[in-house]
Amino acid sequence: MHFNSLSSTALTLLVLFNTVQAKINVLSWDDAYTKAKIIVDKMSLEQKVNITTGVGWDGGLCVGNTYAISNPDFPSLCLQDAPMGIRFADNVTAGVSGVNAAASFDKSAILARGAYMGQEFYDKGINVQLGPGMNFMRSSQGGRGWESGGEDPYLTGVVAAETIKGIQSKGVIATAKHYILNDQELNRNTESSNVDSRTLHEIYLWPFARSVESGVGSVMCAYNLANGTHACEDDYLLNTVLKGELGFKGFVHSDWGATHSTVNAVNHGLDMDMPGEISYKSGTSYFGQNLTDAVNTKSIKESRTTDMAMRIVATWYKLGQDKNFPKVSINSVDRDKASYLNVQRDHKKIVRQIGAASTVLLKNSGVLPLDTKIKSIALIGSDIKANDDGINSCSDRGCSSGHLAQGWGSGTADFPYLIELCLITDCNAPLITNLINVKIQSSISDWDLEAATEAAKGVDVAFVFATANSGEEYITVDGNVGDRNNLSLWNNGDELIKAVADANKNTVVVIHSVGAVLMPWIEHANIKAVVWPGISGQESGNSLADIVTGAVNPSARLPYTIAKKESDYNVKPDPSLQVEYSEKLLMGYKWFDHAKIEPLFPFGHGMSYTSFNYSKLKIKVSKSGTKDMTVKATVTVKNTGKLDGAEVIQAYISYPEKAGSPPQQLRGFEKVFLKHGKQQKIELKFTMTELSIWDTVANAWVIPSGKFFIHVGASSRDIRQSGSFNV
């Protein structure tokens, strides 16, 4: 029986996640600064400037490289994409996307993902990993939403913090990016994202705050303007908020080409210019000689360049990079010149497991997991097979043919291999070994509906695959300039699904997508299940097979809302150069709750092959109303079904009415694995961070007085237990 492997798979997962944890002893900021002072004190102005300046586009082995100095010695730092694996490199792992990490709702899996990536960046001699991303799916169309954690600040904050802890546990500096309000690709270099202070704090700053708390070493300022000022020269956002309010001690570097001045940028908080040139291969820099001159003419104080150097050197010490850091063995400009170094270890196991742990089962009327008695299945759609031209044939994955397991842009890595469906099945052979003697019919055209119908007819279960893709604006795919033009499936997906559903009464829809899509076929009586693997990286097909066969019981949850129709969403990419964040706090499910719109699949939704019961919610409050206030909620969760499986217990808080907050906001979750029949008491803890709102008059976080509610449940629209307390 294939279910027997379930508990052992879960166990392996835990063991694996535990083995990839902390390796290096990260220094405290104080100790790192003490060490840094000794060498920065010896640096001349020119030397300090050099370590803050990039060598220019294509000027080194990495996408970003600083100048090295000698006497005192400080090396050139290598900064390299991407948030999901090493870009422009061979023999590396191309794992699940950021939004999949979020969909796992699994803190230890996210930590393990960060740690294996950190290990690979370390092995390749990369000082700074340019990730995680923490911008938002403010609109479902947003091109780079898949690089981050979805639509909720709490969830995005957890993904950011755990990823950073993982990366930095291996001695690599993580980058929190893109600071800030960089939530659409449309006009990303020229638009101003305009937001009020409360929304800024409660939504957009939230993951950066959690990143700083977890010790992040660097922050990348964004391309866009924020409230009228370029993000990389915004005194309020960089100095007052990031370095002041949040207490960030690391260094701020620009996105590539996002620096627009010398004096304003430096005085307002930018510490490093990337890639160091004013424009592509111009040979000129806002830093370098211009920065030295600005100090000499007293437009910038030398103490500021000392601070910049201190921030960079201290971060390097904090991560232990002074101790035998490996030499760079990638070559972003000329890949063939990179020395051979395979850093993949057994990371594919983690990728496969997180791939399964992040595959959301949206709908299932019992056809999944596949019955071991079934005799035949169909696999239909171009997504079942890799791009005929090769898995890495489009640079930075900038196309959309064949199996979709990454979006496109700088946030990508080359696949070392790609497990799609035909690779597992040869499009002809059994799906996996426990389905021996299962006959497979396939059709790989999205447009030949007759062939699709033929393949679907007569088999026990017909799987039909469709995709939706997006990416970064420097590549246009099928007319989509980064952001998606609409929320429809690509490549005739809707018609293909309808044709298959018309032909087979056990149709299972599988969607590989960067984010929400419209599902005009969802009510079709023959569509018995919808599986949502997102974009799950090199092990994509294996992770999917684990879910559909029941080798792994699904436990992922949607990190964004899927609406019934496009007009139900309140935000889409805005073509004006003044992008007003007028929805304020009402992003994603908060808007749907507020406007009382029923989503097709709500935030936090995801099914299991077993069932869970919630009982005995208890709430305990201590030090009420003080900054040390804590609220502990305990709830008993029981696996009431026949199979072992994991449940994601979600806690949504409703603030006192006078706080003017959205109806409910996610402020805690735990994923717990329970054998069938077993139960466990789960504790969710809320502190000042989770209980307060940003008071724009006091300019501070305050816990509002009045009646709070805690709603505990299986999704934002499946609340099982509620309780309240007064402050």
d(CA 663, CA 592): 10
Length of the chain: 727
Q: Which of 358, 304, 378 is nearest to 556 (CA)?
A: 358
Give the pair of three-digit tokens for residue 224.
Answer: 């866009």
Question: 708: phi > 0 → left, psi -120 to 50 → alpha, else beta; which?
Answer: beta
Residue pointed to by tokens 């422009």: 88
Q: How far is the CB of 211 from ligand NOJ (least distance, A)?
A: 15
Q: How far is the CB of 63 from ligand NOJ (least distance, A)?
A: 5
d(CA 590, CA 606): 18
Binding site for ligand NOJ (CB under 6 A): 63, 81, 130, 177, 255-256, 410
Q: Which amino acid type is present at position 420?
A: E
Catalytically active residues, by annotation: 255
Interacting residues of 313 by C-beta distance below 8 A, sequence separation 6+: 35, 36, 39, 40, 51, 74
Helix (H/G/I), strand (E/B), else coil: 725: strand
- For ligand NOJ, the closer of residues 177 and 403 by Cβ is 177
- For ligand NOJ, the closer of residues 255 and 690 by Cβ is 255
Q: How far is the CB of 333 from ligand NOJ (least distance, A)?
A: 13
Phi, psi of 88 (to 5 degrees): 55, 45
d(CA 48, CA 41): 10
Q: How far is the CB of 128 from ligand NOJ (least distance, A)?
A: 10
Q: How far is the CB of 214 from ligand NOJ (least distance, A)?
A: 20
Q: Return the H-helix or E-strand segment holding 35.
A: helix 29-40
- For ligand NOJ, the closer of residues 410 and 425 by Cβ is 410
Q: How far is the CB of 257 from ligand NOJ (least distance, A)?
A: 8
Q: Which of 313, 315, 63 is nearest to 168 (CA)?
A: 315
d(CA 254, CA 288): 14
Neighbours of 681 (CB within 10 A): 10
Q: Are 711 and 667 in contact (CB under 8 A)?
A: no
Give the pair of three-digit tokens for residue 238.
Answer: 């960089």
CB environment 621-644: b (16+ within 10 A), e (fewer): beeeeeeebbbebebebbbebebb
- For ligand NOJ, the closer of residues 259 and 542 by Cβ is 259
The DSSP output letter for 434 is: G
- For ligand NOJ, the closer of residues 189 and 445 by Cβ is 189
Q: Which of 655, 619, 648 is nearest to 716 (CA)?
A: 648
Is the peptide bond prior to 132 cis by the omega test (within 30 degrees of 0)?
yes
- For ligand NOJ, the closer of residues 147 and 539 by Cβ is 147
**Rg, Å, the chain Cα set:** 25
Q: How far is the CB of 256 from ligand NOJ (least distance, A)?
A: 4
Q: How far is the CB of 669 from ligand NOJ (least distance, A)?
A: 27
- The span from the first CA to the last CA of the chain, in angstroms, equals 53
- For ligand NOJ, the closer of residues 165 and 188 by Cβ is 188
- For ligand NOJ, the closer of residues 58 and 568 by Cβ is 58
